[in-house]
Amino acid sequence: MPDILLTTLNARYQHCAFGLRYLRANLGNLRLRSEILEFDISQRPVDVAESLLARSPRIIGFGVYIWNATATREVMDIIKRVRPEVVLIAGGPEASYELDRNPILQVADYVITGEADLSFVRVCGELLSDQTPSTKVIASELPEFSRLTLPYDEYNDEDVANRIIYVEASRGCPFSCEFCLSSLDIPVRQSPQEAFLENLKRLLTRGVKQFKFVDRTFNLNVQASRGILEFLLAHYETGLFFHFEMVPDRLPEALREIIERFPAGALQFEVGIQTFNPEVGSLIKRRQDYGRLAENFFFLRQKTGVHIHADIIAGLPGESWESFCAGFDRLVALGPQEIQVGILKRLRGTHISRHDEEWEMIYNPQPPYEILQNRLVNFEKMQELRRFARYWDLVGNSGNFIETTSLLLRRDEAGGSPFAEFMAWSRWLHRQVGRTDGIALVRLMELLFHYLTDERNVDPHTTAAALWRDYQRGGRHDKPSFLKDFLSDNLRVDPSPHNVRGLPKRQARHIA
């Protein structure tokens, strides 16, 4: 039985807890006395507590994030009630800021703030030697990468076979965007590249197919970024998939040249636009060159097979309904395969709170702390944006409705607003179903068919053909009954190209 348990509740099973693996890799002589035990937020807190206590640990370290903060607090409460002698240590973003009003502090024995890679082992060593740490809140010093043991050997065979593997080539962010926790994480520090690439090679040899780089600004250090991309290209095999977060207005020729050489679907770039309103950008300290950004999007869409996932945020201080609408339309025109419409969150520790009074920012006090209303967008309008974001993910992003989305947005009509068109559909859909989740795919198809044909007067044969091709693109061949009267028997899509097989389903559908 381990003396030390490292645990967290992931958003879903497919995700791995990267931070826990860093902690275990750096436990030194205590590593063999430790174990990682992961759960997900669909599991009942009382069952999680039971599984943890069944291992009879002396210390349990919890990774606390916005998606699991409430459930984690409940797990810790249960453990303290039935096994008060077990020492509970909390860490992670939700345990690192605003501790004067943080409920985690009330139930944890100790809280380690910041990057705990080297602090956690020191605290555990003291506790297992029957020493008492001098303070309940322990602030971590920023560790140098050269002092850290890299965590990649902590991924087990089940992780490799079934889960997304997280890696990082750097930590920190040079920007000061007020909505983002990364703005507090400075300076940017690079992982020693030779050791990092050797670990990547071992993961590839073990059969890892999906890599998600968690670097906040992968393309900041062009020389380091190019070295990693050259390594990945040299080891590329069909089905490999690499995700990077990129600065959208920084794509010099040294990176363009190698990006062009990757096969379609091998790379996904997550690019944070957040707002196209320069006044809002200045207000929240989000600096970007919109002209260069547009040029980079054009290059990526016309010259490469990169899958672009672009982020935009609703509810920012100073952003009106009309301004957000214009920004969304501008982003659609740039042609990313996916647009994540995020709702502003007031994350603990971020400086976005300085706008609360002037812009009358009202947030939900419960995680994930989303904006409820502000001076320019009232509660009812914010709710409409929340539904818009969810329905856009179901229709615009999923890859299940690529041709149908084009019909929905009327992209072929000059002067049309994609935002206005999709908002009209969003309002109609909510009137029909009254919910934003639990809508079966075929039911959503049927609703789209009736909306386009009855409300928008689109030809039913054109609509049915688009829906049927979209449906087949996902590898399905059972023809929905409501389409049969409007389809010819020989209407088929070409099989998916070989190089998209094995890729994540959503990205594969976009590329196919």
Residue 371 — φ and ψ, nearest 5°?
-65, 135
What is the fold of 4-143? Rossmann fold (3.40.50)
Q: What is the per-residue pLDDT for 491?
A: 66
Angle subtended at Cα 400 by Cα 441 and Cα 300, rounded to the nearest 5 degrees: 160
d(CA 114, CA 181): 11
**Residue 175, pLDDT score:** 80
Asked whether the predicted pLDDT for residue 413 surpasses 60, the reply is no
For 24, how many CA atoms within 13 A lie in the half-sphere containing its CB? 26
Of 386 and 102, the one with more pLDDT: 386
CA triplet 329, 440, 343: central angle to 5 degrees?
A: 35
Rounded to whole angstroms, what are the CA distances from 410 to 6, 382, 389, 413, 448? Answer: 51, 25, 19, 6, 14
Mean pLDDT computed over 172-196: 83
pLDDT at residue number 459: 95
pLDDT at 326 over 60: yes
Q: What is the mean pLDDT of residues 69-98?
A: 96
What distance lies between CA 135 and its chain's CA centroid? 34
Other residues' Cβ atoms within 10 Å of the Cβ of residue 197: 18
Over the stretch 118-168, which tens digit does the pLDDT of each residue have?
999 999 999 999 999 999 999 998 888 889 999 999 999 999 999 999 999
Q: Is the pLDDT of residue 489 over 80?
A: no
Q: Which of 274-283, 467-476, 495-504 has the highest mean pLDDT?
A: 274-283
pLDDT, averaged across the chain = 93
pLDDT band at 499 (very low <50, low <70, confident <90, very high): low
d(C-alpha 245, C-alpha 309), whole Å: 9
Give the residue, 230 or 473, on which the prediction is more confident: 230
Q: For the chain, how are helix, strand and coil distributed in percent, rounded to 5?
A: 45, 15, 40
Contact indicator for 301, 308 with CB cutoff of 8 Å: yes
Question: What pLDDT score was predicted for residue 183?
Answer: 66
Domain ranges of the chain: 4-143, 164-377, 387-512
51 contacts: CB under 8 Å, gap ≥ 6: 37, 39
Return d(Cα 38, Cα 274) in angstroms, integer: 32
Amino acid present at 370 = E
Let me know how many helices (H) and strands (E) the chain has, helices first. Answer: 18, 16
The answer, yes or no, to whether residue 191 has pLDDT greater than 60, is yes
**CATH fold for the domain made of 164-377:** pyruvate-formate lyase- activating enzyme (3.80.30)
Q: Tally Cβ neighbours within 10 Å of residue 35.
A: 16
| Cβ neighbours of residue 322 closer than 8 Å, sequence gap 6 or more | none
